[in-house]
């Protein structure tokens, strides 16, 4: 069973049904049923035209779903309208599905779930497992999302920026259970880039590739976090880094800078350093300046302060941090790091402990707690 092929064909088959007159929600359900049937049938006898087989089965599932709601004559007319067996139409509706599933009327989490199901071809159970929620909860979320976009015309233009934000949200979920959401986000971003090239889409793809390349070195066997400066760089995936850099350079060469390109440039500079001590922090600060100009984001200002601390010393970093809202998540952690670099260990220990109490996840909390304990041990001598 070629699960990758099924997932690749899913958006195209949904598109065929919608263009034949099916509403999006019912078409998506019918295609999911056809995929289930394929997992049973294909291992013994794979069709010569997989897409055509899925279209035929999904269309019949769609007709079955409506049989109780239409008259016998209408049903016969629709069955008669079914195209004869043969190669499926070559039109590609994947881009339209991207736009529909990331419609601005949806919440980010609903858009991410609907994109994974309709464009990514994942089952509701797989998506629920990835997001650590019950399958029934995820099914309700997806159903609500489909109802929300039910009235949206399939041929309406969409917003690529919204699609990119949804894909980045998926990527940042990382890996849970049997579904690698980071890898899935990269696959979908490749699809988006191949169908509608834009510098920012390429920048997002490059950013994902460069971050994903570091994943093998990001955690210890016990699951604890390894800070970037302490990672074993021999474990980084050099092929992903090379690809990410090439994608980024092509995008930057078109001179239409956006925030994902700037973020990718920062990631590329980290990837380019053989050792942490050789990181070009001056260039990184420059890219943070560009990113801050593009976004005016306080989170970017926070990260820039840390980079300034590396480039110009902890005093300069703390001065830059003083201009940032102290209520930001990870502010205490950044302040603790810069105070430690400045030699103020008592303040650093206190701030690490404060940061641990407000950490957004368990792995980060454990890391910050260990940092506080480490400095506390040094102070106790």
**DSSP letter string, 174-190:** -EETTEEHHHHHHHHHH
- Percent of the chain at pLDDT exceeding 90: 65
Q: Are residues 298 and 360 in the same domain?
A: no
Residue 95's pLDDT is what?
85
- Whose CA is closest to 260, among 222, 300, 230? 300
Q: Are residues 21 and 46 in the same domain?
A: yes
Q: Are residues 73 and 15 in the same domain?
A: yes
Q: Is residue 242 in a domain?
A: no
Q: Is residue 144 in a domain?
A: no
Q: Are residues 290 and 349 in the same domain?
A: no
Q: Give the integer Cα–Cα distance in Å for 144 and 107.
A: 11
Confidence of residue 76 (pLDDT cuts 50, 70, 90): very low
Out of 46, 64, 80, pick the residue that ends a domain. 80
Q: Are residues 18 and 64 in the same domain?
A: yes
Residue 178's pLDDT is what?
67
pLDDT in tens, 306-356: 999 999 999 999 999 999 999 998 999 999 999 999 999 999 999 999 999
Q: Are residues 9 and 72 in the same domain?
A: yes
For residues 55-62, average pLDDT: 92
More confident residue, 304 or 176: 304
Q: Are residues 50 and 65 in the same domain?
A: yes
More confident residue, 120 or 93: 120
Number of domains in the chain: 3
Residue 53's pLDDT is what?
94
Residue ranges of alpha helices (H) inside the chain are: 3-19, 24-41, 50-66, 72-80, 94-101, 108-118, 124-130, 135-148, 160-173, 181-195, 199-213, 238-252, 259-272, 281-295, 298-312, 314-321, 331-341, 345-357, 362-380
Q: Is residue 298 in a domain?
A: yes
Q: Is residue 63 in a domain?
A: yes
Q: Is residue 10 in a domain?
A: yes
DSSP 250-310: HHHTTT---HHHHHHHHHHHHHH-SSGGG--HHHHHHHHHHHHHHH--HHHHHHHHHHHHH
Q: Give the mean pLDDT of the chain.
A: 89
Q: Is residue 51 in a domain?
A: yes
- Percent of the chain at pLDDT exceeding 70: 91
Q: Is residue 322 in a domain?
A: yes
* Full residue range of the structural domain in which residue 297 is found: 280-328
pTM above 0.75, yes or no: yes
Q: Give the integer Cα–Cα distance in Å for 89 and 114.
A: 24
Out of 80, 112, 141, pick the residue that ends a domain. 80
Q: Is residue 320 in a domain?
A: yes
Q: Are residues 15 and 72 in the same domain?
A: yes
- Whose CA is closest to 60, among 100, 105, 26, 87? 26
Out of 80, 97, 132, pick the residue that ends a domain. 80
Counting other chains too, the contacts that 297-305 makes at CB distance below 8 Å and 24 or more residues apart are 298/324, 298/325, 298/328, 299/328, 302/328, 302/330, 302/331, 302/334, 303/334, 305/334, 305/338
pLDDT at 157 over 80: no
pLDDT in tens, 192-238: 999 888 999 999 999 999 999 999 999 998 888 999 999 999 999 99
Q: Are residues 324 and 345 in the same domain?
A: no
């Amino acid at each position: 069973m070629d699960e990758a092929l099924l997932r690749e064909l899913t958006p195209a088959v949904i598109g065929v049904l919608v263009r034949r007159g099916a509403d999006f929600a019912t078409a998506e359900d019918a295609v999911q049923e056809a995929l289930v049937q394929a997992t049973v049938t294909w291992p013994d006898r794979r069709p010569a035209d997989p897409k055509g087989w899925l279209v035929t089965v999904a269309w019949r599932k769609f007709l079955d779903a409506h049989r109780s709601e239409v008259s016998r004559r209408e049903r016969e007319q629709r069955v008669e309208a079914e195209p004869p067996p043969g190669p499926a139409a070559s039109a590609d509706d994947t881009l339209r599905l991207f736009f529909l599933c990331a419609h601005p009327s949806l919440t980010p989490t609903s858009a991410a779930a609907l994109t994974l199901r309709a464009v990514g071809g994942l089952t509701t159970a797989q998506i629920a497992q990835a997001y650590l929620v019950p399958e029934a909860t995820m099914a309700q979320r997806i159903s609500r999302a489909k109802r929300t976009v039910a009235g949206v015309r399939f041929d309406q233009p969409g917003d690529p920026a919204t699609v990119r934000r949804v894909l980045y949200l998926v990527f940042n979920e990382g890996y849970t259970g049997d579904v690698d959401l980071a890898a899935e986000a990269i696959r979908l971003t490749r699809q988006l880039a191949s169908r509608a090239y834009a510098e920012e889409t390429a920048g997002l793809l490059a950013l994902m590739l460069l971050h994903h390349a570091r994943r093998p070195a990001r955690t210890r066997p016990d699951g604890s976090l390894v800070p970037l400066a302490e990672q074993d760089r021999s474990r980084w995936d050099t092929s992903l880094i090379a690809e990410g850099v090439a994608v980024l350079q092509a995008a930057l060469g078109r001179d239409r800078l956006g925030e994902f390109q700037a973020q990718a440039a920062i990631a590329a500079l980290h990837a380019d350093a053989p050792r942490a001590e050789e990181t070009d922090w001056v260039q990184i600060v420059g890219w943070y300046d560009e990113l801050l100009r593009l976004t005016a984001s306080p989170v970017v200002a926070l990260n820039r302060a840390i980079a300034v601390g590396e480039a110009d010393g902890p005093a300069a970093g703390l001065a830059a941090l003083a201009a940032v809202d102290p209520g930001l998540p990870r502010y205490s952690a950044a302040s603790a790091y810069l105070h430690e670099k400045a030699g103020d260990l008592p303040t650093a220990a206190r701030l690490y402990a404060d940061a641990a109490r407000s950490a957004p996840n368990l792995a980060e909390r454990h890391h910050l707690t260990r940092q506080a304990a480490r400095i506390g041990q040094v102070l106790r001598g």
